[in-house]
Amino acid sequence: MNRAMRTILCAALAFLGAAAPGLGLSQENGTTEKTATPLALVATIDGAIGPATARQVANAIEEAAGRHADVLVLRIDTPGGLVTSTRDIVSDILASPVPVAGYVWPGGGHAASAGTYIIYATGIAAMAPGTNMGAATPVSMGGGMPGTPKGPGSENEGGNKTGDSASPSNEEALAKKSTNDAVALIVSLAEAHGRNAGWAEEAVREGESIGASKALEIGAVEVVAQDLDDLLAQIDGREVLTNGKIVTLATANARVEHLEPGFMTELLALISNPNVAFLLMMIGVYGIIFELSNPGSFGPGILGAICLLLGLYALNQLPLDYAGAALIIFGLALMMVEAFTPTFGIAGFGGLIAFIFGAAILVDSDTPEFQLSWWTIGITALLSVALLVFLIGYSWRALRRPVTTGAEEMQGAEARVLEWSDGEGYVHVHGERWHARGPAGLVPSSTVRVEKMDGLTLVVS
């Protein structure tokens, strides 16, 4: 090789050596190293767990996966929520390709009830000082805490002994099934992530709740962090179970980005409030009633249809009591009967009673955030009463109003004779010339009274 070729080769090698750091190449161990700054995405769950929360978490996991984030942090402060939405969130977290960390935050916040299940589903469970979690006992249909079945030799409320052969009531059986199902879920989550399964079971069966330091001491959580930066620093290098695989976290000096809920999530959060959904449905129903009673006024009908569809969609996301829904539909049907076939309040007030009872039991949830307010029920009931009174008054006035058209209106009207001969002729009435018959002695310009109409001929006297 001549001197010129050696010079060119050395220059090329020098260029590649200088470019290697920019290309992310390293000769050490013959591997490719990741030099990009780690990315941590943060989604905040604040308030009751419902359909909007489930959608928010699903969207956050999807975005974290699409952006190849190193970790997704769920900051949680919730009193609990709906069972169906909680299970959807747990399923999404377990299937997430991106490691998910649950962080009870801020100080004074809590992850109660449904929040405890979500924390236990995440790969890293963390709490801020001054927070607590637990109280995960399912609430019974009647609103009380379901107790465990009474043991041998215990006494029931009537003072009678109950033995091993005594079968629990249906309510107790349902409560026991619900509690056992919840225990099985949270224990399986605890075992998957190596957390304290015993305390988790107590949180479900006995409603136990613990603070951050105690949770760390007994192994219910892995980290107690002052803030988000502290959390990311502490979990760096930890191994977590993610979608069935062990992943090592790289979160030191991570770039943090907060994920805000999208428009559809915000809309769902608004309309999935039972009070908003109920009001939307009522506006829709009355808008359609007004449209049907006044054909051609397209505005109320279009607005009513939109509100009704939004209300029905929102209610479909909630646990409905179908007996309540049936009572509401029956009550509205009776109100519509009153609107189109006046019964002087009988159908209308019967529909109002059915409507109130149906609204009171419409949403089958003991979570206060997902129950219809009595204020909402009372206001809609009063508006319905006002509408019924208006309809009844309008109907009564319409029945007492004199007839203004047709043969009935002509009866008793005064007419002036224009021409007359042999008991018939022509008269002038209401600005029109009519053929008439009557007494033979009538003369022009005399005044007569219309007795009735016989076809197109007036009978006068």
Sequence-distant (6+) residues with CB within 8 A of 332 are 285, 351, 355
Q: Which helix (H) or strand (E) holds 101?
A: strand 100-104
DSSP codes joined into one string, 2-26:
-HHHHHHHHHHHHHHHHHTTTTTB-
Measured distance CA(314)–CA(280) in Å, rounded:
9
149 confidence band (pLDDT: 50, 70, 90):
very low
Do 437 and 313 share a structural domain? no
Residue 23 lies in a domain: no
Domain end (from 262, 286, 319): 262
Averaged over 245-253, what is the pLDDT? 94
The verdict on 304 and 387 lying in the same domain is: yes
Q: What is the DSSP letter of 441?
A: T
Percentage of the chain with pLDDT > 90?
Answer: 38
- Other CB atoms within 10 A of residue 169 CB: 11
Over its C-alpha atoms, the chain yields an Rg (Å, rounded) of 38
pLDDT at 145: 34
38 contacts 256 by C-beta, under 8 angstroms: no
Same domain for 129 and 246, yes or no, is: yes
Domain count, the chain: 3
Which H or E run includes 181?
helix 170-193
Q: What is the CATH number of the domain that holds 414?
A: 2.40.50.140
Q: Are residues 244 and 319 in the same domain?
A: no
d(CA 65, CA 100): 11
Asked if residue 72 belongs to a domain, the reply is yes
Same domain, 182 and 310: no
Predicted pLDDT of residue 14: 47
For residue 2, pLDDT over 70 is answered with no
Residue 460: helix, strand or coil by DSSP? strand
Same domain, 393 and 410: no
In a domain, 4, yes or no: no
Mean pLDDT for 57-62 is: 96
Question: Do 344 and 295 share a structural domain?
Answer: yes
Half-sphere exposure of 258 (CA within 13 A, CB side): 6
- The predicted model gives 400-409 an average pLDDT of 62
Burial category of 189 from C-beta neighbours within 10 Å (exposed 0-12, middle 13-18, buried 19 and up): buried
137 closest CA partner among 96, 98, 175? 175
Query: b/e for 308-338, b at 16 or more Cβ within 10 A?
Result: bebbeebbebbebbeebbebbebbbebbbbb
pTM beyond cutoff 0.75: no
Count other C-beta atoms under 10 Å from residue 355's C-beta.
Answer: 23
Task: Give the domain-ending residue among 372, 400, 428.
Answer: 400
What is the average pLDDT across 133-145? Answer: 63
Q: What pLDDT does residue 443 have?
A: 83
CA–CA gap between residue 397 and residue 376 (Å, rounded): 32
Q: Does 392 lie in the same domain as 349?
A: yes
324 vs 49, more confident: 49
Confidence (pLDDT) at 214: 96
Nearest Cα to Cα of residue 128 among 75, 202, 49, 78: 75
In terms of pLDDT, which residue wins out, 428 or 5? 428
Examine residue 169 and state whether it is found in any structural domain, yes or no.
Answer: no
Rounded alpha-carbon distances, angstroms, from residue 340 to 47, 290, 348, 391, 394? 44, 11, 11, 9, 12
Residue range 255-259: average pLDDT? 96
- 105 & 226 share domain: yes
DSSP category for residue 124:
E
In this prediction, residues 327-339 reach a mean pLDDT of: 78
Lowest mean pLDDT among 78-82, 150-154, 405-409: 150-154
Question: Phi, psi (5° rounding) for residue 445?
Answer: 75, 0
The parent domain of residue 444 ranges over: 406-460
- Local confidence band at 17 (pLDDT 50, 70, 90 cut-offs): very low
With beta carbons less than 8 A apart as the criterion, state whether 417 and 445 touch. Answer: yes
Give yes or no: residues 198 and 251 share one domain: yes
In this prediction, residue 163 has a pLDDT band, given cuts at 50, 70 and 90, of very low
Is there a domain that residue 27 lies in? no
Q: State both tokens at 409.
A: 């209106």
pLDDT in tens, 420-461: 888 788 888 877 888 888 888 788 888 888 888 877 787 788
Confidence of residue 76 (pLDDT cuts 50, 70, 90): very high
